Each structure stands twice: as structure tokens, then as C-alpha cells.
Structure 1
Amino acid sequence: MRLSAIHHVALICSDYPRSRAFYSETLGLPILREVYRRERDSWKLDLQVSPGVQLELFSFPHPPPRPSRPEALGLRHLAFAVPDVAAAVVELEARGVACEPIRVDEYTDCRFTFFADPDGLPIELYEVASAQ
């Protein structure tokens, strides 16, 4: 087996319109497709992160909560590469998104920060010079 790339990450949200707006408008991810799955009473939204990489956003009636803090087992956070973390923080804060102070990864010397999506999922912005 040869894993070549991450194709998508799937998230279940508690308030579909709010999360749809956050990911497509606040974060600016282009919408690839949106479908309502009547048999599941569920929306599925495919957003493009980069060519070949997608974020799938799902709604389900009454999804159970999943703890993410303190450091719960499972997905720890979602990270996006950006060319300039400070510029991204300025954009997010102008859109009403609170960000943690920018830190430097002690192993790579790259800058990063965290913020939360509407359901409290931790999202990281990680500065990568080749991210465009």
C-alpha cells in the first residue's frame, strides 16, 4: 500500500448554516458541491482546501458532543498551511475570530497559532513558506 496524500477531512457540525458560513465565508474555502441527503436528514458540503484536498462538512440531527479539551483521545486539531501566519491572524480577527498568540514550533522554527470553529474544534494555522 502507498498512501499518497490526504484527500479529505470530515467534520460534523451542530449548526450547519453557521458552520457553512464560517468555513466558506470567514475562512474563504470554495464550495465544490452541496447536497441534502433526505434519508439521513443531513447536509453534506464539500469545500476545497487546495487542489485535491477537501473538507467535508456534515449536519446530522442531534449529534452527540465530542470532547476536545482537555486533550481528549482522537482528532486533536485540524491544521492549515498558510504563507504568513501573522497576516492570516489579522484577517481572522477582522472577521471576529479570536486567535491565540502566535508561537514558534521549537523543532521546526515555524510560526503557528490556534483558533476555534463554531463548535469549538481547535484549528491551527501553520506557517509554511511554500503555502500559496
Structure 2
Amino acid sequence: MLGIKQIHHIAIIATDYVRSKAFYCDILGFTLQGEVYREERDSWKGDLALNGQYVIELFSFPFPPARPGWPEACGLRHLAFSVDNVDNAIAHLESHGVRCEAVRIDPITGKRFTFFKDPDGLPLELYEQ
């Protein structure tokens, strides 16, 4: 038996580390647990936590390749965060200049959700609990 217990972290590569760190920490509410500059790779690595739990490993690399632009590209489709109230979360994001799509209803669960993007265009979702 493999014995997987939970997701340990999600790794994200940013084109502008400082801008993405501010987005995830100052706008989305993650906390920076630690960061290190890896000179040999000209790369920053930041460990971000949500409610005290390590969640995102934020990297920068010089000249990373662009993410495929079409919505159904193979690979990670999006990263979803649960919220208590999607309308309040949208208002917060939009007050910081982050554009959100129109709210949709999950046809299976009846729950409300919306999509928005991080500074590099990574699709993110807010899913109302």
C-alpha cells in the first residue's frame, strides 16, 4: 500500500516572485513561513501557509516557459480554494484589482463558485462551502 495521507503542497512557478508573493500573501491571505534565494539557479523559493498549514511552494525561475493558454490543456486545470461566502470573497478580490468571472452554480452540488487568475494567469477558483 502506497500510504498517501494528504496533499503536502502545491508548487507554483512565478515570473515575478515579489509580485506573486504579494498577491498570495497580501490579497489571498497566505502567510510566508520562510523563503530562500538559490543563487545557483537564480531562483527564489517561498513557503506559503494558509491558516497555519503549509500549502504553496512559490518559485521563481528566469524565463520560465509560458503556460498553455487554452482552457482544456493537459495538466493542472486550476487550483480551488473554499470560502464561506463567494460574494464577499469576490468583493475583496475586486477591491484589489483582481477580476473575477461571473458566479456559476455547480450542477452536481448546487454550490456557487467563480474563477480568477494569479499574476501569471494561473486559473484559481473560489468555491463556496
Coarse TM-score class (shorter-chain normalised): over 0.9
Q: CA contact under 8 A between 1:6 and 1:53: conserved in structure 2?
A: no
Q: What amino acid is aligned across from residue 35 of structure 1 in structure 2?
A: V
Shift of residue 49, structure 1, vs aligned partner: 2.3
Shift of residue 16, structure 1, vs aligned partner: 1.1
Q: What amino acid is aligned across from residue 11 of structure 1 in structure 2?
A: I
Query: What root-mean-square deviation, in Å, do the aligned CA atoms of Structure 1 and Structure 2 show?
Result: 1.2
Consecutive unaligned residues of structure 2, counting only runs of 5 or more, are none
Q: CA contact under 8 A between 2:11 and 2:58: conserved in structure 1?
A: yes
- Determine the C-alpha separation between the residues in 2 that align with 1:81 and 1:70: 21
Q: Which residue is 1:69 aligned to?
A: 70
Q: CA contact under 8 A between 2:80 and 2:127: conserved in structure 1?
A: yes
Q: Which residue is 1:37 aligned to?
A: 38
How much identity, in percent, do the aligned residues show? 57
Q: CA contact under 8 A between 2:8 and 2:54: conserved in structure 1?
A: yes
Q: Does 1:90 align with 2:91?
A: yes
Q: CA contact under 8 A between 1:36 and 1:42: conserved in structure 2?
A: yes
Q: What amino acid is aligned across from residue 88 of structure 1 in structure 2?
A: A
Distance change (3 Å), C-alpha of 1:101 and 1:56:
same
- Aligned to 1:98, the other structure's residue is in SS state coil
Q: Which residue is 1:56 aligned to?
A: 57
Q: CA contact under 8 A between 2:17 and 2:60: conserved in structure 1?
A: yes
Q: Does 1:2 align with 2:3?
A: yes
Q: Which residue is 1:127 aligned to?
A: 128
Consecutive unaligned residues of structure 1, counting only runs of 5 or more, are none
- Determine the C-alpha separation between the residues in 2 that align with 1:110 and 1:53: 26
Write out the 4+ residue segments of structure 1 that deviate beyond 6 Å after TM superposition.
none
Shift of residue 123, structure 1, vs aligned partner: 0.2
- Determine the C-alpha separation between the residues in 2 that align with 1:83 and 1:8: 22
Q: What amino acid is aligned across from residue 21 of structure 1 in structure 2?
A: A
- Aligned to 1:88, the other structure's residue is in SS state helix
Shift of residue 51, structure 1, vs aligned partner: 4.1
Map residues 89-128 of structure 1 onto 2, 5 A cutoff: 89-128=90-129
Distance change (3 Å), C-alpha of 1:93 and 1:13:
same
- Determine the C-alpha separation between the residues in 1 that align with 2:81 and 2:70: 20
